[in-house]
Amino acid sequence: MSLLSVEDLHVYLGQSHVLQGVSFDVAEGGVTALLGRNGVGKTTTLRAILGLAERHGRIQLAGEDVTRLPTHKVIRRGLGYVPEDRDVFRGLSVDENLRLAERNGGARYDLVYELFPELRERGRQLAGTLSGGQQQMVAIGRALLNDNRLLLVDEPTKGLAPSLVTEVANVLERLRETTTVLLVEQNLGVVRRVARDVVVLDQGRVVHASPAAELLADRERVHRLLGVG
């Protein structure tokens, strides 16, 4: 049984039928990468899974139907979310941002500070004054604070300097040992390094699903589906 099962997902944003029957499974353990051209609906898919967008279809988490649940209840089932724009609370300090993510005890501050020692140093600093890379650390740290069984991560390397991209990839590599990650990513280098499976979206539907190595070996297909060489 897969950890996450998305069935016939339809999402309308205004007049636009963005997701037209998306179906895919995410197996437990490791990183599944959600790929596709810009604007194809990858972020919308993640948001729909969490209930942040109005959705029709079926979403199952380890066999449990969570389609009708409000967002906070879905999250409490053991999900972590790293949004595309980080969405850290700029008026709150780093500490406060992390503290907000605490759930029922068992917050893994050791792990977070081990991965991102800067967060401990800058604890009192207002998140709004951090650099993009530092905000990304807060966003990821937030999702790691709890022992989540599924992480939804949306373009974590966007806008980051190459050294930070490597750092993020390192973190993802570590994470895939202990939890499952559904990763939206445009950077194929990162995908190549960490992803076990890939799911490709195009025009509101899933057009390809396979082990990552299989797709990435096929240059022509990659170019056709993703528009990159």
Task: Rank residues 52 and 62 by Cβ distance to other proteins and give the closer one.
Answer: 52
Give the interface with other proteins as residue ranges (CB under 8 A): 50, 52, 70-72, 75-76, 81, 83, 87, 89-92, 96, 99-101, 103, 142
- Partnered with residue 204 across adjacent β-strands are none
Q: For residue 193, give the nearest of 172, 209, 164, 214 by alpha carbon.
A: 172
Task: Rank residues 72 and 219 by Cβ distance to other proteins and give the closer one.
Answer: 72
Least separation in angstroms between residue 145's CB and other proteins is 9
Cβ distance 151 to 120 under 8 Å?
no
DSSP the chain: --SEEEEEEEEEETTEEEEEEEEEEE-SSEEEEEEESTTSSHHHHHHHHHTSS-EEEEEEETTEE-TTS-HHHHHHTTEEEE-TT----TTSBHHHHHHHT--SS---HHHHHHH-HHHHHTTTSBGGGS-HHHHHHHHHHHHHSS--SEEEEE-TTTT--HHHHHHHHHHHHHHHHHSEEEEE-S-HHHHHHHEEEEEEEETTEEEEEEEHHHHHH-HHHHHHHHS--
Least separation in angstroms between residue 51's CB and other proteins is 8
Least separation in angstroms between residue 224's CB and other proteins is 32
Least separation in angstroms between residue 219's CB and other proteins is 37
- Residue 70 CA: distances (Å) to CA of 24, 76, 84, 193: 21, 10, 21, 34
Task: Rank residues 78 and 204 by Cβ distance to other proteins and give the closer one.
Answer: 78
Least separation in angstroms between residue 174's CB and other proteins is 22
Task: Rank residues 22 and 101 by Cβ distance to other proteins and give the closer one.
Answer: 101
Task: Rank residues 56 and 103 by Cβ distance to other proteins and give the closer one.
Answer: 103
Task: Rank residues 4 and 222 by Cβ distance to other proteins and give the closer one.
Answer: 4
Task: Rank residues 119 and 169 by Cβ distance to other proteins and give the closer one.
Answer: 119
